[in-house]
Amino acid sequence: MWSIHPSQIRPILEALSPKTADIELASEIVLAGFKAQWAPISHQGHLHDRASYRFYWQVLERAHSTGRHLAKEVLEFFTDTTGDSHA
Please give the average per-residue pLDDT across 31-49, as a whole number: 97
pLDDT at 30 over 80: yes
Contact 31, 52 (CB under 8 A): no
**How do the domains of the chain map onto residue ranges?**
18-78
Predicted confidence band at 10 (pLDDT cuts at 50, 70, 90)?
A: confident
> For the segment 53-73, what is each residue's pLDDT rounded down to a tens digit?
999 999 999 999 999 999 999
Whole-prediction pTM: 0.81
DSSP assignment, residue 81? T
The DSSP-derived string for 12-79 is HHHHHSPPHHHHHHHHHHHHHHHHTTT--EEETTEEE-HHHHHHHHHHHHHHHHTT----HHHHGGGB
Average pLDDT, the chain: 90
What is the residue type of 85? S
Higher pLDDT, 43 or 83: 43
